[in-house]
Structure 1
Amino acid sequence: MRIAFVSFETGHHRDTETNQRFRTVCDLLAERGHDVHWYCAGFWAGEESTYEHDGITYHAVATGTDARSSFLVRLPFVLAAARPDVIHVGPQPPSQVVATTWGATMARAPLVLEWYGDGGIDNTRWTRLAAGRPDRIVTPSELVGTWVRELGADGDCIETIPNPIDCDRIRDVEPGAEVDVIYARRLDAGANLESLLLGLAELRDREWQATVVGDGPERAAYEQLTADLRIEDRVTFVGDLDLEDRIAAYRGAHVFAQTADHCVFPTEMLWALAAGCVGIVEYHANSSAHELVEGRDRGFRTTSEAELAEAILAAGDLEHRTYDEAFADYDRSAVADRYLERYRTLRDEHGVL
């Protein structure tokens, strides 16, 4: 299948969650042997109009990020000439969705909009126009789906597809040291690690050890808080770890705590749950993390430090695992299948053979 991805920016221009997600979808389909093309602003050296990397062919519709107007004007005609089977567009800038719609009409191809939602979604004229254009809108969580519906999008065309993980990779990593609770995230203003630390402080008369994975501008403040709470000998800050070391840590841990106040999809928590951790989520209106634990025996949703402490105690009654097959549906192969199934359905609806 020939698939055209459209995003003015790529991860080569700017490393955002939205660009990472878009690249991940491209990778999933390229790995399956599909013909993947990304139409974007050029980012490579030289005068060539295309650049191939890791199974993806990038097309410079504009010479750089200063040429957005040129990109929008040229895009419909470039897509029409490419004649892809499916067109998959990103939401930023929303004007590119409108331009891509014209290209999809000219190419007689179905249009999928990938709306990740990191940084929130502004309710503007352009975002409302974008929400009403595609044949299908894919979001990473029900939370983002709600935001998109609030723009006026048809709820029947919104589908939730999660970020993928690699289950084989989890099973191949040896479990690390056993700890009772683990937390992993960039330690910035949105980390809200204090909720976990305050909950742990309520259990200082119990035996436990906790690990904090990640670094950031608030690390020193959080380390000072552990001292103020008199739990510094129980909480170990290990800084940033690569994925293999994080998986090892999750396989050794019993509980993964998610307390961040903003999260469109808790990818790190998903790795930990699949690696056997019991999930404890502090509910926040702008976080979708609770969606991963609702209805699961090995998951707890809390709304306060006291409830979080109680959940940690209750989790102690559950067996320690190093892998949870219940999350096989989040494996890369399963997520790729969902995209391909959606593409084929849309092509059938369009009468494309």
Structure 2
Amino acid sequence: MRVAFVSLETVSHRDTETNQRFQTVLEILAARGHDVHCYCATFWDDERATLERDGITYHGIATGLEARRSFLIRLPFVLAASSPDIVHVHAQPPAAVLAASWGATLARAPLVTEWYGDGGIDDNRWTRLAANRGARILTPSELVATWIRERGADGDRVETIPNPVDLERVRDVPPGERVDVIYARRLDEGANLESLLLALAELRDRDWQTTIIGDGPERAMYERLASDLRIDDRISFAGDCSLEERIAAYRGAHVFAQTAEHCVFPTEMLWALASGCVGIVEYHVDSSAHELVEGWDRGFRTTSEAELADAILAAGDLEHRTFDDRFADYDRSAIAEAYLEQYRTLEEAYGLL
């Protein structure tokens, strides 16, 4: 299948959560042997029009991110000439959806739009014009699906496909040091690590050890808070760690705590749950993390530090695991198949099969 992905900006321009999601989709489909093309602004140094990398062909149709107008003007005609089976557009900026829609029409190919929403989804004219474009509208979570419906998207076209993890990679990494609670996120203003620290302070008369993975501008503040709460001797701030190091830590930990205030999809938590952790989520209106633990006997949803402390105690009664096959549906192979099923359904509807 020949898939034309459209994204003005790629992970090679900026390593953001949104760009990582789109890049992952390209990679998992290329790994399945599909003909994957990405139409983007150039990120390579020479004057080549295309770049081949890891089974993906990147087409530079604008010379850098500042050439957005040129990108939008050229895109429909480039797509029409490429004869794709599917056009799949990253909806940032929303104007790219409109340009890709015209290109898909010229190419007589179905249009799939991908809304991720890291940082939220603006409610403006361009977003509302783009929100209902596409025979299929994909989001990572029900939270983002709700946001895009509120911007005018037809709910019948909206489908949720989560971020993937690699279960084989989880199995291959030996478990690390045993700890009771683990937390992992960039330590910035949205981390809300104070909720976990306050909950742990309520349990200072209990025997526990905690690891905090991640770095950021608020790390020093959180270290001071742990000291002020007199629990710093049982908390290890590990800083930034590689994925292999994080998986090892998750396989050794008993509980993963998710307290961030904004999260369109809890990918790091998913790695931890697949590694056997019990999941505890503090509910926030702009976080989808609770979606992973609802209806699961090894998951807890809390709304306060007191409830979080109680959940940590209750989790102690559950067995320690280093792998959980409940999350097989989130494996890279399963997520690739979920995308391909959407494409096949659209091709059949368009009479292309």
TM (norm. structure 2) is 0.99
Q: Deviations over 1:80-108 (max 9, x none)?
A: 00010000000111111001101101101
Q: CA deviation at 1:68?
A: 1.3
> Paired residue for 2:23?
23
Q: Report the Cα distance in structure 2 between the residues aligned to 1:226 and 1:322, rounded to whole angstroms.
A: 28
| Identity rate, percent | 75
1:75 alignment partner AA: L
Q: Deviations over 1:159-205 (max 9, x none)?
A: 11111000011011111111100000011110000000000000011
Q: Report the Cα distance in structure 1 between the residues aligned to 2:74 and 2:232, rounded to whole angstroms.
A: 58
SS in 1 for 2:257: strand
Q: Report the Cα distance in structure 2 between the residues aligned to 1:350 and 1:141, rounded to whole angstroms.
A: 27
Is the counterpart of residue 58 in structure 1 residue 58 in structure 2? yes
Q: Report the Cα distance in structure 2 between the residues aligned to 1:154 and 1:131, rounded to whole angstroms.
A: 8
Q: Report the Cα distance in structure 1 between the residues aligned to 2:241 and 2:5, rounded to whole angstroms.
A: 31
Q: Report the Cα distance in structure 1 between the residues aligned to 2:34 and 2:285, rounded to whole angstroms.
A: 38
Q: Report the Cα distance in structure 1 between the residues aligned to 2:288 and 2:339, rounded to whole angstroms.
A: 21
SS in 2 for 1:301: strand
> Paired residue for 2:75?
75
Is the counterpart of residue 331 in structure 1 residue 331 in structure 2? yes
2:15 alignment partner AA: D
Q: Report the Cα distance in structure 2 between the residues aligned to 1:106 and 1:206, rounded to whole angstroms.
A: 66
Mapping for residues 226-237 of structure 1, pairs under 5 Å = 226-237=226-237
> Paired residue for 2:258?
258
1:71 alignment partner AA: F
> Paired residue for 1:141?
141
Gaps of 5+ in 2: none
RMSD: 0.7
Q: Report the Cα distance in structure 1 between the residues aligned to 2:124 and 2:136, rounded to whole angstroms.
A: 20
Q: Report the Cα distance in structure 2 between the residues aligned to 1:191 and 1:294, rounded to whole angstroms.
A: 22
Q: CA deviation at 1:54?
A: 1.0
> Paired residue for 2:245?
245
Q: CA deviation at 1:19?
A: 1.1
SS in 2 for 1:159: strand
Q: CA deviation at 1:280?
A: 0.2
Q: Report the Cα distance in structure 1 between the residues aligned to 2:20 and 2:13, rounded to whole angstroms.
A: 11
Is the counterpart of residue 154 in structure 1 residue 137 in structure 2? no
2:234 alignment partner AA: R
Q: CA deviation at 1:66?
A: 2.1
> Paired residue for 2:90?
90
> Paired residue for 1:216?
216
Q: Report the Cα distance in structure 1 between the residues aligned to 2:170 and 2:65, rounded to whole angstroms.
A: 38
Q: Report the Cα distance in structure 2 between the residues aligned to 1:152 and 1:339, rounded to whole angstroms.
A: 23
Q: Deviations over 1:1-58 (max 9, x none)?
A: 0000001111122222111111100000000010000001112122211111111101
> Paired residue for 2:205?
205
SS in 2 for 1:280: strand
1:94 alignment partner AA: P
Mapping for residues 150-189 of structure 1, pairs under 5 Å = 150-189=150-189
Mapping for residues 267-346 of structure 1, pairs under 5 Å = 267-346=267-346
1:122 alignment partner AA: D
Q: Report the Cα distance in structure 1 between the residues aligned to 2:54 and 2:207, rounded to whole angstroms.
A: 48
Q: Report the Cα distance in structure 2 between the residues aligned to 1:207 and 1:238, rounded to whole angstroms.
A: 20
Q: Deviations over 1:262-287 (max 9, x none)?
A: 00000000000000000000000000
- Paired residues in the alignment total 353
Q: Report the Cα distance in structure 2 between the residues aligned to 1:72 and 1:238, rounded to whole angstroms.
A: 44
Q: Report the Cα distance in structure 2 between the residues aligned to 1:274 and 1:67, rounded to whole angstroms.
A: 42
1:64 alignment partner AA: G
Q: Report the Cα distance in structure 1 between the residues aligned to 2:251 and 2:319, rounded to whole angstroms.
A: 13
Gaps of 5+ in 1: none
Range moving further from structure 2, 9-18 or 193-202: 9-18
SS in 2 for 1:88: strand
Moved over 2 A (4+): none
Range moving further from structure 2, 59-68 or 117-126: 59-68
Q: Report the Cα distance in structure 1 between the residues aligned to 2:238 and 2:45, rounded to whole angstroms.
A: 38
Q: CA deviation at 1:143?
A: 0.3
1:275 alignment partner AA: S
Range moving further from structure 2, 208-217 or 44-53: 44-53
Q: Deviations over 1:185-239 (max 9, x none)?
A: 0111100000000000000111111110111111111111111111111111111
Q: Report the Cα distance in structure 2 between the residues aligned to 1:19 and 1:254, rounded to whole angstroms.
A: 31
> Paired residue for 2:9?
9
